Chain A
Amino acid sequence: DGGITQSPKYLFRKEGQNVTLSCEQNLNHDAMYWYRQDPGQGLRLIYYSQIVNDFQKGDIAEGYSVSREKKESFPLTVTSAQKNPTAFYLCASIREAGRQDTQYFGPGTRLTVL
């Protein structure tokens, strides 16, 4: 089955720690995205990558970092610089950025800072 997987489903972090959220897709999609979702708010774009070895900041990139070494993988690191990291994190992908297609989402990772 083709799809987007995110792991772990739930993640707990102590203050001051960096954590990495995994996102993998086997859809052969070119572009991948990371969003953050807070209660009652829409999705906000953290980072996106249209091709391997290239990525761009979204609206709320501060305190986050990403890499795109492989087409199928786009991990997100939440650093200690992110002051309010507790949220639901969603990864998405699209077949080819710039075409008339739309984004498909993974199941999400819920991050809680203790």
Chain B
Amino acid sequence: QKEVEQDPGPLSVPEGAIVSLNCTYSNSAFQYFMWYRQYSRKGPELLMYTYSSGNKEDGRFTAQVDKSSKYISLFIRDSQPSDSATYLCAMSYNNAGNMLTFGGGTRLMVKP
């Protein structure tokens, strides 16, 4: 069993929809949680970074962490075709930088 599980998709939604992307993990020691967006043939770019449980909002993006359920989510409101990409969750134990453990990524397609 992988430490971090993520549905690979693809997830196809119409423009304007609310998108929910999720990861589950098995190790309760994870404290820092990140979401990266990766366009095809490009390097990942950091979208959201949260510590411990709770919500964090940035524009159309909301990251949610539920440590009791070992479950994290990324919500995208008013999705746009430019949001079409692969979304990777990542997490680490004692700080946000070292030794990240990644999910396999979910491919999202937003159709005009």
- Report which A residues bind B (CB closer than 8 A): 4, 6, 31, 40-45, 48, 88, 90, 92, 94-108, 110
Contact = CB atoms under 8 A, between A and B. Distances in A.
B95 interface: yes
Contacts of A48: 98
A104 B41 contact: no
Q: Most chain-A CB neighbours within 10 Å: which of B36, B43, B49?
A: B43
B110 interface: no
B49 A102 contact: yes
Interface of B: 4, 6, 8, 32, 34, 36, 41-46, 49, 51, 88, 90, 95-105
B52 to A, nearest CB: 12
Contacts of B97: 31, 94-103
Contacts of A104: 46
A107 B100 contact: no
A90 B86 CA distance: 15
A45 B44 contact: no
Query: What are the 6 closest A-B residue pairs judged by CB atoms, nearest first?
Result: A42-B102, A105-B43, A94-B97, A102-B96, A43-B102, A42-B104
A108 B88 contact: no
A73 B103 CA distance: 27
Contacts of A94: 97-98
17 contacts: A4-B43, A31-B98, A40-B104, A42-B101, A42-B103, A42-B105, A43-B102, A44-B102, A90-B44, A96-B97, A100-B95, A102-B46, A102-B49, A102-B96, A107-B43, A108-B41, A110-B41
Contact of B95 (A6, A40, A42, A99): A99
A94 B49 CA distance: 14
Q: Most chain-B CB neighbours within 10 Å: which of A45, A102, A105?
A: A102
B37 to A, nearest CB: 11
Contacts of A97: 97-98
Contacts of B95: 98-101
A104 B38 CA distance: 12
